[in-house]
Structure 1
Amino acid sequence: MTTRTATAAVLACAALLTSPAAPTAFADAPDALQACGAYTEDRSTSREEALARTRTWLEAHVPYSQRACHENEHGSYRTDCSGFVSLAWGLDRSRPTSGLGEVSREIPREELMPGDALNSPGHVALFVRWEDGARTRPVVREHTGPDGEPVVERAWSPETAARYTPIRYDRIVG
């Protein structure tokens, strides 16, 4: 293990311990990310389908890893946060968080709908619903690690949510 890799691993673990939705140090380092399936194009995906696709990983307790793939009836995607959103949206491959802007656009927070995402440098989560009527506590599905931890569904605090940019997949329908 190189010093650079060891340092990045320590930073990733420290970030995960300080916040349940903290970015990981490897999330945008393409040389550190596992390549998985590749498909001919990004698919059009309904909001219901995005939630159903991610439910399969939630129910299967797919373990987090930036160096592993999980394959099921929906394809083969990297088992980290951006691979999880790539699966949800039916993208042509697992993209890093920085690559999600190529297939999505920023939206106002009040327009978040199931199947949209909350993105920040190094971490992304799929929006499921609002936990509260004031729309301050989003319920998300996310893959945060550390290695081996499964996908979770949970409500974020308003403070955590404020650190993320709402985005909408360009080919989401319904």
Structure 2
Amino acid sequence: MVIFTLRRSLAVVCAVAAAAFGLTAVDAARKVAPAQAESVPNGTITRAEVLSRAQNWVDRNVRYNKTRDSGTLITDVEGDNRYGPDCSGLVSMAWHMTANAGKGGNSTYDFLDSPDIIPLPSAHSLLPGDAILRGGHMELFARWKDPADHTKGAWTYSLNGTGDPDSNGWENDWAKGPAANSHGQRGEESWSSIVNDYTPVKYRRIVDEAPLPQGRVSVYGVQPDGRLTYAAIDAATGRRTHG
């Protein structure tokens, strides 16, 4: 009776300890890094989600129109908010901002005056999900073409327009990013343009992804015959070592 109680108590303790680390005997190796929750409008948002939201417009073949007429506004990935299919509308959508929702998101001039926009010390400080901004145009920074040499320019997410709209304001430019869209267009900016024509900025609510967990988790268990089991799990890789 004492042995049974001891075994049951030990099993409960082990189960609680495993649960505290998000682990079970079956899926301990798979749950070492919980998935990031999606953002809410005007809340904190990870750089990875910003880029994912921008890519959604590329995948949906969003076409440029700067009129901001109601019939031209495009929904975000959730379908809850509508934005103008132009340069600042794309960035408003990617950052999950709902300021000026009645007109399809911020304009570049709204961004220039916004307390949510933080100028960066230099273009070298740009990180994925930041932006380059000037009155009249802006682009979402995706990554450097060569991380070791920024003077080779950057890949961006953008809607640029052509200056030749049809009677409804549509222009033959589509949302584009580092990889060519369905029209063969890519988003990119030269180093000279970045440093001479724009201000590098970041969104105040953007956050870096959480670092991978480090260290090792120990998980104990009890076999039906009373033998104790032990496994050590590397928190970063999920690799399990049995004792």
TM-score under structure 1 normalisation? Answer: 0.72
CA contact (8 A) 2:156 2:189 kept: yes
The alignment partner of 1:128 has SS state of strand
Deviations 1:73-132 (A, max 9, x none): 343111110000000101113000011131211002111100000001100000000002
Aligned ranges 1:100-119 → 2 under 5 Å: 100-101=111-112, 102=114, 103-108=116-121, 109-119=123-133
- Pairing 1:164–2:198 present: yes
The alignment partner of 2:84 has SS state of strand
Give the Å deviation of 1:155.
2.6
CA contact (8 A) 2:130 2:200 kept: yes
CA contact (8 A) 1:127 1:141 kept: yes
- Structure showing greater radius of gyration is 2
**Unpaired segments ≥5 residues, structure 1:** 1-39
Q: Aligned AA for 1:159?
A: S
Match of 1:126 in 2: 140
CA contact (8 A) 2:76 2:93 kept: no
**Unpaired segments ≥5 residues, structure 2:** 1-39, 163-170, 178-186, 209-243
Give the Å deviation of 1:44.
1.6
Q: Pairwise CA RMSD of aligned residues?
A: 1.6
Match of 1:149 in 2: 173
Following superposition, which runs of at least 4 residues in structure 1 exceed 4 angstroms of deviation? Answer: none
Give the Å deviation of 1:43.
2.4
CA distance in 1, matches of 2:107, 2:76: 20
Structure with greater helix share of residues: 1
Give the Å deviation of 1:45.
1.2
CA distance in 2, matches of 1:151, 1:166: 21
Instruction: Using CA pairs under 8 Å that are at least 6 residues apart, name the structure with larger relative contact order, 1 or 2.
Output: 1
Deviations 1:27-85 (A, max 9, x none): xxxxxxxxxxxxx9622211011000011101111000012211143431111100000
Give the Å deviation of 1:160.
1.7
Sequence identity, in percent? Answer: 30
CA distance in 1, matches of 2:41, 2:89: 16
TM-score under structure 2 normalisation? Answer: 0.53
Give the counterpart of 2:108 among 88, 92, 97. 97
CA contact (8 A) 1:43 1:89 kept: no
Aligned ranges 1:34-113 → 2 under 5 Å: 42-67=42-67, 68-74=72-78, 75-92=81-98, 93=101, 94-101=105-112, 102=114, 103-108=116-121, 109-113=123-127
